[in-house]
Amino acid sequence: MATNLQFIKEASGTNVTTLSVTDCFGKGYDVYQVILNAESDSTDGYWGLQLIDSSGSTITGSEYDEAVLLMRSYDSFIDNRSATASMVSVGYDDDYSAALNLYVYNPDDSGSYTYGTLASDGGTSSGFIGTKGVFVHHTAEVISGIHFKMSAGSNDFNYINVSVYGVK
Amino acid sequence: MSSNTYGYIADTGPTQAYGSNNGVFDPADINDLIAENKWSGVGTLELIQTQTVSSATADFTALQESTYDVHFFTFNDVHLTTQTEFGYRLSNDSASSYETGYGFANQRGISSGTFAERKSTGQDSARLCGDIDAAAHSLGNGYMYLYNAGDSTKYTFSTSHMVFVDNTDAPAMEFGSQVYDHAEAIQAIRFGEGTGVTGVTSATISLYGIRYS
């Protein structure tokens, strides 16, 4: 069976603390791919994602399990893991620039948890940092969108561009 | 562009956009809209080129980097001449030469061995996996995403995941991230073995562009 990507939506922002990509799911696919490029300002590091429920509200509760390996080119690697995270720690970027490839599974299914697999690039003045990880939103509900944010809410993405595709 | 723009003979037709095409379209219309990223219904993972190489590097010299911000590569049965690593170098001068100076941070796992970090802040090549060797069954397979190649204001990044049989005949995997931390436009990429990125015994590598990225 031939497979391909079907473009759904893009969203972007400059000098923003968060970016919500609304109504990018619910298009009839089991699997969605999200591609991002961004750059944070010089005062932050971790950035992450939260999901948006069917009413358009960002899910901020402790509803995420995450296991993300932070891989530093200049130092030992770090395990980021939690069964009660309120935000999935996607990557680390400190005025270096970043890229992300994310697959989201089952967001349209009200009877299933929503799963994700991710790989990212980023860095600091010390050097390059990549991540590889997984997450589960451990509540069975329909997910309509995705919300990106800096871990410290006062800091900005200098720019952030997100494209969402259905995997057909 | 055809004279009756996008299926309309009137002087002005409806505004066309991805997900919102209106009118009756002939093949020329469709080709024009695809070129402008405005045609709905097409897949956005587009095969650019497949290379099967023997005793050579795999050089992709037409990335179409002005069209695609994100590229996707698949690696099939990468076979090396000796025990070493597999990786790439990028070209900022349209394949006249290939640059050195890459950072990478990879995690390797060997089924009969250990999991270990593989990392560098300045290697002559961007590492995707090691150690494949010359044994007939020691082959590598996997995929890689490449970001920002055409953007002269951004670093060029990649993320990768490989599976292979290593030099001890053990199944193994290596995933990770790589960077060429120079804000330069990249027009070509060379895959090969060792940090010198020299010719491999054989491999089949496909290059795709992701439209609208």
pLDDT recorded at residue B4: 52
Of B44, B117, B161, nearest to A76 by CB-CB distance is: B117
Return the SS3 of B169: coil
Of residues B195, B39, B62, the one with CA closest to residue B120: B195
pLDDT recorded at residue B3: 44
ipTM of the complex: 0.92
Return the SS3 of B111: coil
Query: Under an 8 A CB cutoff, do A77 and B155 touch?
Result: no
d(CA A100, CA A119): 6
Q: Which CATH class is domain A5-167?
A: mainly beta
Cα A22 versus chain centre, distance: 13
Closest residue, chain B, to A127 (C-alpha): B121
pLDDT for residue A44 is more than 70:
no
pLDDT tens sequence across B122-158: 999 999 999 999 999 999 999 999 999 999 999 999 9
Q: How confident is the model at residue A1 (pLDDT cuts 50, 70, 90)?
A: very low
pLDDT recorded at residue B211: 83
pLDDT for residue A21 is more than 50:
yes
Q: How confident is the model at residue A156 (pLDDT cuts 50, 70, 90)?
A: confident
pLDDT tens sequence across B45-90: 999 999 999 999 999 999 999 999 999 999 999 999 999 999 999 9
Distance from CA of A42 to the nearest CA of B (A): 16
Residue ranges of chain A whose CB lies within 8 Å of a chain B CB: 3-7, 10, 35, 37, 69, 71-74, 76-77, 96-99, 101, 119-121, 123, 127-132, 163, 165, 168
Counts of helices then strands in chain B (DSSP H, E): 1, 12
Closest residue, chain A, to B182 (C-alpha): A96
- Domain positions in chain A are 5-167
Measure CA of the first residue to CA of the last residue in chain B; give whole Å.
24
Please state the pTM of the whole predicted model.
0.90
- Section B35-43 average pLDDT: 69
